[in-house]
Amino acid sequence: MNGRVGAVILVLVGLGLGATLLRDQVPLGTSQTAPAAAPAQNPVAAEAGAKLQNEQNTIDVVSRFEPGLVFISTESEVVSQNPFGMMFGQPDTQVQQGVGSGFFVNDAGDILTNYHVVAGESSSGAAQKISIRVMGQDRSVPARVIGLAPQYDLALIRPEGLDAKFIRPIPLGDSDTLKVGQKAIAMGAPFGLDFSVTEGIVSSTARQIPIGFGGAGGQGITQKAIQTDAAINPGNSGGPLLDSGGRVIGINTQIISPGVQAGGTGQSAGVGFAIPVNAAKNLLPRLQAAKGGIITAPRIGVVAGLQVQGQGQNIPVGLSALSPQGKEQLNLPESGLVVGEVTPGSPAAKAGLKGGTDTQEFRGGQIALGGDVITAANGNPVDGVEDLQAALIDRKQGDTVTLKVWRAGQTRDVTITLDASSFQ
């Protein structure tokens, strides 16, 4: 508000126009006392009151649920490639340390965090030593891995020897109901400053970013993440993102940092990302049953047939990435996942899906033609690998998935039954 408009409003309030109009309506010759004008509300005081309500909500959420946050530290022994040490049979070893965050999800003491928080050297399996510390305690206790999901950048660990009174689960919310502009509270250990809190809003509810790691767990998955401007920094990874009710809506995982791009230290630029909690909720049963092993995303046995050139690798994309003219020229639908290859003996092969028979190169990528295009899964549109993964993420062996498949201008429904190969 500029000074001139503010002055006009203050003058109008000071005039007491409501009382003046009432006096003008009193008939001549009668005596009636006009009621006193209601005291004007001070806009500055009203704004201060609103702030205090928001502050009190944050205070309440933090005081109630911050005890469910845990500080995670890891150690891994790394053998240095020192030729002189190796020559004399004395390899030079160093201890690689890491820190991050996590939070309790149940009374058994299971702690949800990011895979990269507890990963070992080169993101291959878990670190050799994992310790956790709860709020208000100086002593750390060891933790063991319950399950790892590198593709989703999620992990479940459990402390050993921790008094049950310190286990304070934080309730899990529903990330599918999030709205842009909604309050977001991030908890964690930025730069190792354990048990820190920041606040912001949900900036986007479906920002597609690459999440996860390859290696033994397969390829990382491009997922729909929650974007927030709540300050998230290195060390916040694995910590919870909460709503105003104190429910976990996401697991903090990544930031966009111009500092890193310029060769400096990574730090918050107001663009942070969290894995939607519903993805973690769907994976929890599998993580709890993993017996310390790795779980992978279910697969039906198809390879994306439309790929574009990325940084050092080809990236699978949906048909919406092509221009309308290109799709019309190739006689393809508006959107969908092009099937490039079908793995023999896979659920997709058993259901009769067909891969491409011809590959056409174009500037910046390639596309397989002559095969199927998956346009929907379980009634939800599919326009990329992440959409198909979303339909499979909570499935188990024996479950079915209904796909809408386009082939040569005709669309039909295909039922896929997941088997043991889907989870290998």
Q: Are 393 and 325 in a shared domain?
A: yes
269 within some domain: yes
Query: Residues 6 or more apart from 207 whose CB is under 8 A from it?
Result: 224, 225, 226, 227, 273
The predicted-structure confidence for 295-338, as pLDDT tens digits, reads as follows: 888 899 999 999 998 766 788 899 999 999 999 999 999 999 99
Q: How confident is the model at residue 13 (pLDDT cuts 50, 70, 90)?
A: very low
The predicted-structure confidence for 208-230, as pLDDT tens digits, reads as follows: 787 877 654 455 667 789 999 99
13 within some domain: no
Average pLDDT over residues 337-359: 96
Q: Are 252 and 315 in a shared domain?
A: no
Q: Are 272 and 361 in a shared domain?
A: no
Average pLDDT over residues 267-281: 86
Q: Are 275 and 376 in a shared domain?
A: no
For residue 259, what pLDDT is reported?
Answer: 54
Q: Are 206 and 312 in a shared domain?
A: no
Q: Are 277 and 385 in a shared domain?
A: no
Query: Residues 6 or more apart from 387 whose CB is under 8 A from it?
Result: 318, 337, 377, 380, 381
For residue 122, what pLDDT is reported?
Answer: 66
Q: How confident is the model at residue 206 (pLDDT cuts 50, 70, 90)?
A: confident
| Residue 416's CATH number | 2.30.42.10
| Residue 196's CATH number | 2.40.10.10
Strand partners, 227: 204, 273
For residue 26, what pLDDT is reported?
Answer: 32
Which of 232, 255, 287 is the endpoint of a domain? 287
Q: Determine the Cα–Cα distance for residues 269 and 271; give it in Å rounded to an integer.
A: 5
- 32 versus 397: the higher-pLDDT residue is 397
> Under the phi-then-psi rule, with left for phi > 0, alpha for psi from -120 to 50, and beta for the rest, what region is 159?
beta
Residues in the chain: 424
Domain interval for residue 245: 175-287
Q: Determine the Cα–Cα distance for residues 217 and 296; give it in Å rounded to an integer.
A: 6
91, pLDDT greater than 70: no
* Structural contact between residues 250 and 240, judged by C-beta atoms closer than 8 angstroms: yes
Which of 233, 256, 287 is the endpoint of a domain? 287
112, pLDDT greater than 70: yes
Q: How confident is the model at residue 33 (pLDDT cuts 50, 70, 90)?
A: very low
- Strands 337-342 and 373-377 come out as antiparallel
Q: Are 314 and 375 in a shared domain?
A: yes
Q: How confident is the model at residue 131 (pLDDT cuts 50, 70, 90)?
A: very high
Query: For tokens 């990574």, what's the residue?
Result: 266
For residue 395, what pLDDT is reported?
Answer: 81
- 374 versus 47: the higher-pLDDT residue is 374
Q: Are 321 and 397 in a shared domain?
A: yes
For residue 38, what pLDDT is reported?
Answer: 54
CA atoms within 13 A on the CB side of 408: 7
Q: Determine the Cα–Cα distance for residues 339 and 111; give it in Å rounded to an integer.
A: 38
366 within some domain: yes
For residue 424, what pLDDT is reported?
Answer: 75
Please report how the helices 17-24 and 3-15 are oriented relative to each other, as an axis angle in degrees rounded to 10: 40
Which of 264, 287, 310 is the endpoint of a domain? 287
Say which range, 45-59, 139-153, 166-180, 339-353, has the weakest mean pLDDT.
Answer: 45-59
Q: What is the phi/psi pair of residue 218, to 5°?
A: 90, -160
Query: Residues 6 or more apart from 88 whose CB is under 8 A from it?
Result: none
Query: For tokens 């062996």, what's the residue?
Result: 397
266 within some domain: yes
Q: Determine the Cα–Cα distance for residues 420 and 422; give it in Å rounded to an integer.
A: 5
SS (H, E, C) 235-301: CCCCCEEECCCCCEEEEEEEECCHHHHCCCCCCCCCCEEEEEHHHHHHHHHHHHCCCCCECCCCCCC
Q: How confident is the model at residue 387 (pLDDT cuts 50, 70, 90)?
A: confident
Residues marked as catalytic: 116, 153, 237
59, pLDDT greater than 80: yes
49, pLDDT greater than 60: yes
For residue 20, what pLDDT is reported?
Answer: 30
The predicted-structure confidence for 230-260, as pLDDT tens digits, reads as follows: 999 989 999 999 999 999 999 999 887 665 5
Query: Residues 6 or more apart from 370 whose CB is under 8 A from it?
Result: 356, 357, 358
Q: What is the mean pLDDT of the chain?
A: 84
Q: Are 232 and 330 in a shared domain?
A: no
For residue 130, what pLDDT is reported?
Answer: 97
Q: Determine the Cα–Cα distance for residues 155 and 275; give it in Å rounded to an integer.
A: 12
Per-residue tokens: 373: 């295009």
Percent of the chain at pLDDT above 90? Answer: 61
For residue 310, what pLDDT is reported?
Answer: 76
87 within some domain: no
Average pLDDT over residues 87-94: 63
164 within some domain: no
Using CA atoms, how far residue 388 sits from 33, 303, 339, 363, 403, in Å, is 74, 11, 12, 26, 9
Q: How confident is the model at residue 46 (pLDDT cuts 50, 70, 90)?
A: low
Q: Are 325 and 278 in a shared domain?
A: no
The predicted-structure confidence for 147-156, as pLDDT tens digits, reads as follows: 999 988 999 9
Q: Are 219 and 310 in a shared domain?
A: no
Say which range, 9-13, 53-57, 196-200, 341-345, has the weakest mean pLDDT.
Answer: 9-13
Q: Are 276 and 309 in a shared domain?
A: no
Per-residue tokens: 194: 């354990």
165 within some domain: no
**Domain tally, the chain:** 2
120 within some domain: no
